[in-house]
Structure 1
Amino acid sequence: MEALPKLDLKGKISEIEWQRRVDLAACYRLVAHMGWDDLIYTHLSLRIPDTDTYLVNAFGVAFDEVTASNLVKVDLDGNILDDTPFTINPAGFTIHSAIHEVRSDAHCVIHLHTNETIAVASQKEGLLPLSQYSMFSLPSLSYHGYEGLAVNADERKRLQEDLGNTNHMLLVNHGGLTLGPTVGDAFMRFYDMQRACEVQLMLQAAGKEAVSVPQLIQDNIFAQANVVHSGATGGQLAWPSLLRKAWRIDPSFME
């Protein structure tokens, strides 16, 4: 069994970039821990502040093998910008680059193929207001129809138009996507959307009529969830605890 190459980035990158690498590597590990990964497929990307460069996973590396050092730095065209033995999956970065291109607030983009997001995205009714979790996604949720593997450059424009200014997207027959100004925001948004899909499918499987949340309460809960806590969002407040969880699971993501 061949071991993954280990890279030493000390003195080669800024402290800001290193911290972003640590955050993103931790997020990959947490996604694997939650069982949301899909072998070596799907992607999480993160913009390096004040640049047009992005971090993404190396192609062929499992999510529980991602480290701060083996993340790959690319531009919007997927060109690799650093000295690394790793490559990326250009097709996999298509969705991410399309979003980063038009959403300056989308510093982090998470796209995953969980069973539950695929299932709900593929229902004609989509996500329904059946749980508190769905309240956090529905006011900022969009859909994108399936067009096959995301390798068609023309699809980028349609994806951008469908996304608009929303922060949650269900890709029909395909999976889920969230974005945010930080890794914590994008992760928390995916967590809420994933739980909403899980609850919906459980209720539907029970075969009993479910009680929907009235629109007035939907609007009120969304407003409550947007209360600012000293300028931080819920995802940002939760992120330190999630970093500690990633450390307890396996601190090698820091390498």
Structure 2
Amino acid sequence: MTDPTVEEELRLRRELAAVYRLVAHFRMTDLIFTHISLRLPGPDHHFLINPYGLLFEEITASNLVKIDLDGNAVDPTPHRVNPAGFVIHSAIHKARSDAQCVLHTHSRSGCAVAAQSDGLLPLNQISMEFYNRVAYHDYEGVALNLDEQKRLVDDLGTHPVMMLRNHGLLTVGSSAAQAFLRMYYLDKACQIQVEAQAGGSAVVLPDPTVCEYTARQLNGETDESDYQDDDAYDLAWAALLRLLERVAPDYRD
């Protein structure tokens, strides 16, 4: 008889491995130096994270490392874990029950906007998904200090995304799929902002009331049905998995 716990872990491993491959495919990586984690079900507070030293394009379901909230490997593994990955991710998983997946990047545009005093601006419909929904955390050095965890969690609060100032981007989600899609569009919003500012002309900001209304539409917080988050994300995620089956089907191994 198949153990449902084992089957569920395999499903989650494949989902997280898919996110790693998609981050690589869309060029949001920083060699081996960022991380994505996914909480496993159960009372033990275990989560999956990348083996330190592998490129994201090398990540598979089977080589993800299972660790506890203290950063200890749960199962035998030849790999170790990025210490900064443990500091950031364990703090958020411990504090936010809804943060099943935590995704962190150092993309070029994300780092550029994270270094701007005004942060993310509502310059385009894509960025308006995050209007008044972005947290900010001031830079304190490489995230190796456990004392930073409380400040990081306090700054994140209940927000779905955060800009780590002078550092990069972070998203959380109720699934790996949701965390990835939030990152995909947060990063795209940053790209649009950098390119708009490079144009040399003054940028146009919509009325704040319109921005908030659009954010509510895009987050499924209105009575309208066209932009319901669950439906849109499910359709997009299915399309992304079809993409991976064409370009990197070994993520499932």
Instruction: Classify the TM-score, shorter chain.
Output: over 0.9
Alignment of 1:5-84 (within 5 A): 14-51=6-43, 52-84=45-77
Deviation digits for residues 200-223 of structure 1, max 9, x if unmatched?
111110010111121111111112
Counterpart Cα distance in 2 of 1:69 and 1:29: 14
What does residue 212 of structure 1 align with? 205
Q: Which residue of 2 aligns with 1:5?
A: none
Q: Is the 8 A contact 1:129 1:135 kept in 2?
A: yes
Distance (Å, rounded) in 2 between the aligned partners of 1:144 and 1:17: 32
Q: If the length of structure 2 is used for normalisation, what is the TM-score?
A: 0.92
Give distance in 2, aligned partners of 1:131 and 1:202.
12
Alpha-carbon deviation of 1:84? 1.7
Task: Letter of the 1:225 partner, please give it.
Answer: L
* 1:102-160 superposed Cα distances (whole Å, 9 cap, x missing partner): 10000000000001111101111111111111111123101001110000111001001
Structure 2 unaligned residues grouped into runs of 5+: none
Describe the shift of the 1:163–1:233 C-alpha distance in structure 2 as closer, same or farther (beyond 3 A).
farther
Return the offset for 1:101: 0.9
1:165-196 CA distance string (max 9 Å, x none): 00110111100000010111101111111111
Q: Which amino acid is the alignment partner of residue 211 of structure 1?
A: V
In 1, the alpha carbon distance for the partners of 2:127 and 2:219 equals 14
| Partner residue in 2 for 1:96 | 89
Sequence identity percentage: 47
SS of the residue corresponding to residue 151 of structure 1 reads: coil
Q: Which 4+ stretches in 1 moved above 2 angstroms? A: 10-13, 226-237
Cα distance, 1:235 vs structure 2: 2.5
Give distance in 1, aligned partners of 2:242 and 2:152: 35
- Spell out the pairing of 1:1-255 with structure 2 (5 A cutoff): 14-51=6-43, 52-227=45-220, 232=230, 234-255=232-253
Structure-2 separation of matches of 1:231 and 1:174: 28
Q: Secondary structure at the match of 2:54?
A: coil
Quick check: 1:44–1:57 contact (8 Å CA) kept in 2?
yes
Distance 1:117 1:150, change over 3 A: same
Distance in 2, Cα, partners of 1:124 & 1:91: 25
Query: Equivalents in 1 of 2:152, 2:234: separation in Å?
Result: 27
Q: For residue 116 of structure 2, what is the amino acid of its counterpart?
A: Q
Change (3 A) 1:136 1:12: closer
Distance of aligned partners of 1:231 and 1:30 in 2 relative to their CA distance in 1, 3 Å threshold: closer
**Contact 2:51 2:79 survives alignment (8 Å):** yes
Stretch moving more, 173-182 or 241-250: 241-250
3-state SS of paired residue (1:137): coil
Q: Which amino acid aligns with 1:232?
A: D
Would the aligned equivalents of 1:185 and 1:234 in 2 still touch at CA under 8 Å? no
Residue segments in structure 1 that go unaligned for 5+ positions in a row: 1-9
Please report the TM-score for the alignment, with normalisation by the length of structure 1.
0.92
Please state how far the C-alpha of 1:230 moved relative to its aligned partner: 8.3
Cα distance in 2, alignment partners of residues 110 and 79 from structure 1: 20
What residue identity is the alignment partner of 1:29?
R
The number of equivalent residue pairs is 246
